[in-house]
């Protein structure tokens, strides 16, 4: 034990430099290290993302998915079908991929809806899709109320539904309005103008404005929903986005040489459309929104708002069932279309 | 949004961890730490030293006479700490009166009850309809103070830890370690570790390192595991030693520096608690202790419902009004089978 720097026996405490100070701040506790701990845990666990694409066949849904994730993640790429037949009824097809980037692992599931809007009579074509979405909420709920729960409940809930609007240039079609009206109540909808390379910039602006008006007048809340802005900072960022939607997108998984660089694009006789060039189309904005800035927020809204609403509805239903059946709770409350 | 493309192959979801961060930083974190042990072992001082706070400023210490009638209380102090933009809501749960009476039989009961109450509250909140702002008051870690004056664990220490080891993460600390020489500390630690094993006490286990962690991390991890119980010294005062101002205790024979690893394990404890294992402590509380409580709770409620139903077989009164989570039964126990059979009976009757 080293000798103290003052001779205690002859000096008073004050002279020795002993101070009674209850609150000392010259060192720090280190609580910001919790962020690093969370990051480690997240990296180990990986992330899940479930995106649904909805729109008539031929609007470039699969290509857009491939472009977004820079790999062949869509159903069409995985299943080698030489002739794509339009199915007689709407099908829901999920394909999952494990992708990785800079150490971050993600299980991406793309849910395709072939047959939507392709029939002669498209009445109620949103029903199978609503059912699918609610089925995922139901599955999650069942896991949650289980007695022995999994450490991490697998999340198959649809985080985001990209709705493809055909580039008519006029306005939304009745089918578009009906679909988005209903689905925006249960899932985050991100509408996009598909194959936007058929519209000039003026036509595009006019179309967008029209669409926004129609969404407003029909009370359709697409992502990012105004009522879920958390604070002024969020509102500011999201307002800018709301003024730009729907994004006019062009997809491509082919590369071309432009000015000495290899870029994703579409080559025509009158020029090459560069997918990632914001002067040409708004693909990059969509990508940034969905992936680089708002991905976590999209998942949070799904779990803390859409899912919770579903859960409350179900719990209330089961309580009514309890009183109706004289106080005997049912065992298997099956999900039904709403 | 600036539409900046950047690297060709880069999709951009590598930003996900940062997106998650952002939300957490906005919301802030919370942590509940319990301290337990006899009076006078330096619990309050240690808490103040750990978090650089002054939680016990106006505390009144009772004398012996007053302590005769005192029962074990549970007190809560909450303090908001912010560092580098990260906000932590720290709750310290104290157990004054523990082990102070002449007859200390079952003095841990109020402590165990408190922990269970927090679990129950969380369970209710989690099963309720509005889950937006659930407060998590569950105890994430319990620092148990072992007296340095004994020869290892005392009967009370063993009983307390056994009563609580399946409800909370127990981290044993060797209190007031400045009364011991380094050799004495080592011997005591070994003895205590042996006794913990001998009595089957399940203290908090540090998770094993991944094989791909760097060597420094693995080394630190190993040292951590071999330091249990942490020999700690706390101090509320600042002393000047060798021209530096340090938190310490001034004795005629020298100055004990709290943050000097050669003097005590304070730094190890603080780093473990705050800088490296806080998240894991919360995870284990959530995934193991709480889930155990929840499963037991549901099973006992299920048994209650069956009894209730049997009693009301003729009158058909309603069962409990608590939203009972019914899920697929994992084990075919008598109770679950009985419920299913009764249900099928009733369904049949209703459909007639």
Asked if A241 lies within 8 A of B52 by C-beta distance, the reply is no
Write down the pLDDT at residue A298: 94
Q: Are A167 and A199 in contact (CB under 8 A)?
A: yes
Asked if A5 lies within 8 A of B242 by C-beta distance, the reply is yes
Strand A93-101 vs strand A104-112: parallel, antiparallel, or unpaired? antiparallel
Summarize pLDDT for B265-314 with one digit per residue, the tens. 999 999 899 888 999 999 999 999 999 999 998 888 888 888 888 887 65
Which residues in B69-228 belong to E strands, given as ranges?
75-83, 86-94, 141-146, 170-174
Arithmetic mean of pLDDT, B23-46: 89
For residue A156, give the nearest of A110, A194, A98 by alpha carbon.
Answer: A110
Which residues lie below 8 Å from residue A165, measured CB to CB, with a gap of 6+?
A55, A172, A176, A191, A192, A193, A194, A211, A246
Write down the pLDDT at residue B240: 84
Summarize pLDDT for B207-260 with one digit per residue, the tens. 877 776 777 778 888 888 889 999 999 887 888 877 888 888 888 888 888 888
Closest residue to A295, CB basis, from B19, B24, B239: B19
Rounded to an integer, what is the distance from CA A304 to the centroid of its chain?
Answer: 13
Strand A255-258 vs strand A261-268: parallel, antiparallel, or unpaired? antiparallel
Q: Are B272 and B224 in contact (CB under 8 A)?
A: yes
Asked if A316 lies within 8 A of B129 by C-beta distance, the reply is yes
Write down the pLDDT at residue A221: 93
Which residues is B29 bridged to in the sheet? B88
ipTM of the modeled complex = 0.74
A25 contacts in chain B (CB < 8 Å): 52
Which residues lie below 8 Å from residue B92, measured CB to CB, with a gap of 6+?
B32, B33, B34, B35, B47, B55, B76, B77, B78, B79
Q: From the CA of A203, how many Å to the nearest CA of chain B?
A: 21
Q: How confident is the model at residue B31 (pLDDT cuts 50, 70, 90)?
A: very high
Write down the pLDDT at residue A151: 86
Asked if B240 lies within 8 A of A291 by C-beta distance, the reply is no
Asked if A326 lies within 8 A of B81 by C-beta distance, the reply is no
Asked if A326 lies within 8 A of B210 by C-beta distance, the reply is no
Chain A residue at shortest CA distance from B318: A327
User: Could you identify the residue written with the tokens 């530096």?
Assistant: B244
Which residues lie below 8 Å from residue A191, measured CB to CB, with a gap of 6+?
A162, A163, A165, A180, A211, A215, A222, A245, A246
The sheet with strand A189-193 has its strands ordered as A93-101, A104-112, A47-54, A160-165, A189-193, A247-248
First to last CA, chain A: 76
Closest residue to B255, CB basis, from A4, A262, A294: A4
- Tell me: pLDDT of B167 over 60: yes
Token representation of residue B189: 């630690």
- Tell me: pLDDT of B332 over 60: no
Closest residue to A18, CB basis, from B1, B243, B250: B250
A33 contacts in chain B (CB < 8 Å): 274-276, 278
Backbone phi and psi for residue A291, each to the nearest 5 degrees, phi listed first: -110, -50
For residue B270, give the nearest of A30, A24, A39 by alpha carbon.
Answer: A30
Cβ under 8 Å to B: A residues 102-141: 102-104, 106
A253 contacts in chain B (CB < 8 Å): none
Report chain B's mean pLDDT, rounded to a whole number.
82
Hey, CA dihedral for B4, B7, B13, B17, is it positive or negative? Answer: negative
What b/e string do you get for B247-282 counting C-beta neighbours within 10 Å, with b at 16 or more? Answer: bbbbeeebbbbbbbeebbbbbbbbbbbbbbbbbbbb
Q: Does B60 touch chain A (CB under 8 A)?
A: no
For residue B245, what are the CA distances in angstroms to A18, B47, B239? Answer: 9, 20, 6
DSSP B237-295: SEEEETTEEEEEEEETTEEEETT-TTT-SHHHHHIIIIIISHHHHHHHIIIIIIHHHHH
B132 contacts in chain A (CB < 8 Å): 304, 308
Q: Are A302 and A187 in contact (CB under 8 A)?
A: yes
B10 contacts in chain A (CB < 8 Å): 101
d(Cα A202, Cα A204) in Å, to the nearest integer? 5
B11 contacts in chain A (CB < 8 Å): 68-70, 99, 101, 287, 291
d(Cα B297, Cα A19) in Å, to the nearest integer? 52
Within 13 Å, how many C-alpha atoms sit on residue B207's CB side? Answer: 15
Does the pTM of the predicted model rise above 0.90? no
A13 contacts in chain B (CB < 8 Å): 250
* Angle formed at CA A97 by CA A94 and CA A103, multiple of 5 degrees: 150
Q: From the CA of B114, how many Å to the nearest CA of chain A?
A: 23
**Dihedral angle over CA of B206, B212, B216, B219, nearest 10:** 40
Cβ under 8 Å to B: A residues 262-281: 262, 276, 278
First to last CA, chain B: 63
Q: How confident is the model at residue B84 (pLDDT cuts 50, 70, 90)?
A: confident
Which residues is A274 bridged to in the sheet? A265
Write down the pLDDT at residue B112: 93
The CB density around residue B237, as the number of other CB atoms within 10 Å, is 16
Chain A residue at shortest CA distance from B18: A39
Token representation of residue B71: 């029962």
For residue B98, what are the CA distances in angstroms to B42, B62, B109? Answer: 14, 13, 10
**Which carries the bigger pLDDT value, residue A4 or residue B189?**
B189
Q: Across A61-75, B21-35, B58-72, B111-125, which has the greatest mean pLDDT?
A: B111-125
The CB density around residue A88, as the number of other CB atoms within 10 Å, is 9
For residue A91, give the nearest of A126, A123, A122, A116 by alpha carbon.
Answer: A116
Q: Does B241 touch chain A (CB under 8 A)?
A: yes
Cβ under 8 Å to B: A residues 11-50: 13, 16-35, 37-44, 47, 49
For residue B26, what are the CA distances in angstroms to A230, B82, B279, B286? Answer: 10, 12, 17, 22
A145 contacts in chain B (CB < 8 Å): 325-327
Rounded to an integer, what is the distance from CA A18 to the centroid of its chain?
Answer: 59
Q: Does B132 touch chain A (CB under 8 A)?
A: yes
Q: Are A286 and A293 in contact (CB under 8 A)?
A: no
d(Cα A113, Cα B66) in Å, to the nearest integer? 74
Summarize pLDDT for A246-277 with one digit per residue, the tens. 999 998 888 888 888 888 888 888 888 899 88
Write down the pLDDT at residue B318: 44
Q: How confident is the model at residue B336 (pLDDT cuts 50, 70, 90)?
A: low
Summarize pLDDT for B123-148 with one digit per residue, the tens. 999 988 888 888 899 999 999 999 99
Backbone phi and psi for residue A26, each to the nearest 5 degrees, phi listed first: -85, -5
Under 8 Å CB pairs connecting chains A and B tally to 230
Closest residue to A331, CB basis, from B250, B270, B343: B343
d(Cα B228, Cα A26) in Å, to the nearest integer? 28
For residue A206, give the nearest of A248, A169, A165, A167 by alpha carbon.
Answer: A169
Write down the pLDDT at residue A215: 94
User: In which residue ranges of chain A is pLDDT below 50?
Assistant: 1-25, 80, 82, 326-338
Asked if A106 lies within 8 A of B255 by C-beta distance, the reply is no
Number of residues that make up chain A: 338
């Amino acid at each position: 034990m080293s000798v103290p720097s003052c001779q205690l026996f002859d000096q008073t405490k004050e002279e020795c430099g002993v101070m009674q100070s209850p609150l000392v701040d010259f060192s720090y506790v280190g609580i910001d290290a919790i962020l690093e701990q969370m990051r480690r845990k997240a990296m180990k666990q990986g992330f899940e993302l479930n995106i649904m694409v909805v729109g008539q066949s031929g609007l470039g849904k699969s290509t857009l998915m491939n472009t977004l994730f820079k790999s062949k993640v869509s159903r069409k790429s995985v299943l080698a079908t030489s002739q794509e037949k339009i199915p007689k009824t709407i099908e829901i097809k999920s394909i999952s991929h494990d992708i990785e980037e800079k150490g971050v692992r993600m299980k991406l599931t793309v849910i395709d809806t072939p047959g939507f809007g392709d029939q002669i009579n498209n009445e109620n074509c949103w029903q199978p899709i609503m059912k699918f979405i609610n089925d995922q909420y139901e599955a999650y709920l069942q896991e949650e109320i289980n007695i022995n729960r999994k450490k991490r409940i697998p999340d198959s809930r649809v985080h985001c539904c990209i709705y493809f609007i055909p580039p008519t240039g006029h306005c939304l079609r009745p089918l578009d309005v009906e679909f988005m009206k209903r689905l925006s109540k249960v899932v985050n909808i991100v509408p996009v103008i598909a194959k936007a390379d058929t519209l000039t910039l003026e036509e595009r602006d006019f179309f967008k404005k029209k669409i926004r008006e129609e969404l407003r007048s029909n009370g359709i809340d697409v992502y990012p929903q105004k009522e879920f802005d958390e604070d002024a900072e969020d509102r500011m960022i999201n307002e800018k986005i709301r003024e730009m939607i729907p994004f006019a997108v062009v997809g491509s998984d082919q590369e071309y040489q432009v000015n000495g660089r290899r870029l994703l694009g579409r080559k025509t006789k009158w020029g090459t459309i560069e997918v990632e060039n914001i002067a040409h189309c708004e693909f990059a904005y969509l990508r940034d929104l969905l992936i680089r800035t708002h991905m976590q927020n999209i998942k949070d809204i799904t779990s803390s708002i859409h899912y919770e609403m579903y859960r409350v509805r179900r719990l209330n239903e089961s309580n009514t069932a309890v009183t109706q059946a004289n106080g005997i709770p049912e065992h298997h409350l099956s999900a039904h279309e709403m | 949004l600036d539409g900046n493309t950047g690297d060709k192959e880069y999709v951009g979801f590598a930003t996900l961890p940062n997106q998650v961060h952002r939300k957490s930083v906005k919301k802030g974190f919370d942590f509940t730490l319990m301290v337990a042990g006899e009076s006078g072992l330096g619990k309050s001082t240690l808490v103040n030293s750990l978090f650089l706070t002054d939680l016990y400023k106006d505390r009144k210490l009772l004398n012996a006479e007053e302590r005769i009638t005192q029962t074990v209380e549970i007190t809560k102090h909450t303090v908001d700490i912010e560092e580098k933009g990260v906000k932590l809501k720290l709750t310290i749960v104290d157990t004054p009166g523990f082990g102070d009476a002449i007859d200390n039989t079952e003095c841990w009961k109020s402590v165990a009850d408190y922990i269970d109450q927090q679990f129950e509250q969380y369970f209710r909140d989690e099963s309720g309809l509005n889950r937006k702002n659930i407060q998590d008051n569950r105890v994430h870690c319990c620092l148990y103070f072992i007296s340095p004056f004994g020869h290892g664990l005392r009967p009370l220490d063993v009983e307390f830890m056994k009563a609580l080891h399946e409800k909370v993460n127990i981290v044993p600390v060797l209190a007031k370690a400045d009364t011991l020489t380094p050799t004495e500390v080592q011997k005591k630690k070994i003895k205590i570790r042996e006794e913990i094993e001998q009595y089957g006490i399940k203290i908090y286990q540090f998770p094993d390192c991944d094989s791909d962690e760097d060597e420094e991390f693995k080394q630190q991890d190993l040292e951590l595991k071999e330091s249990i119980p942490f020999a700690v010294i706390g101090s509320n005062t600042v002393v000047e030693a060798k021209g530096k101002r340090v938190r310490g205790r001034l004795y005629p024979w020298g100055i004990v520096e709290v943050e000097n690893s050669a003097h005590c394990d304070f730094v190890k404890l603080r780093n473990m608690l705050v800088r490296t294992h806080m998240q894991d402590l919360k995870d284990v509380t959530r995934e193991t202790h709480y889930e155990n409580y929840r499963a037991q709770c549901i099973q006992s409620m299920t048994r209650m419902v069956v009894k209730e139903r049997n009693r009301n077989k003729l009158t058909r009164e309603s069962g409990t009004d608590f939203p009972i989570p019914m899920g697929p039964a994992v084990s075919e126990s008598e109770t679950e089978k009985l419920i299913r059979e009764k249900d099928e009976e009733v369904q049949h009757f209703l459909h007639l």
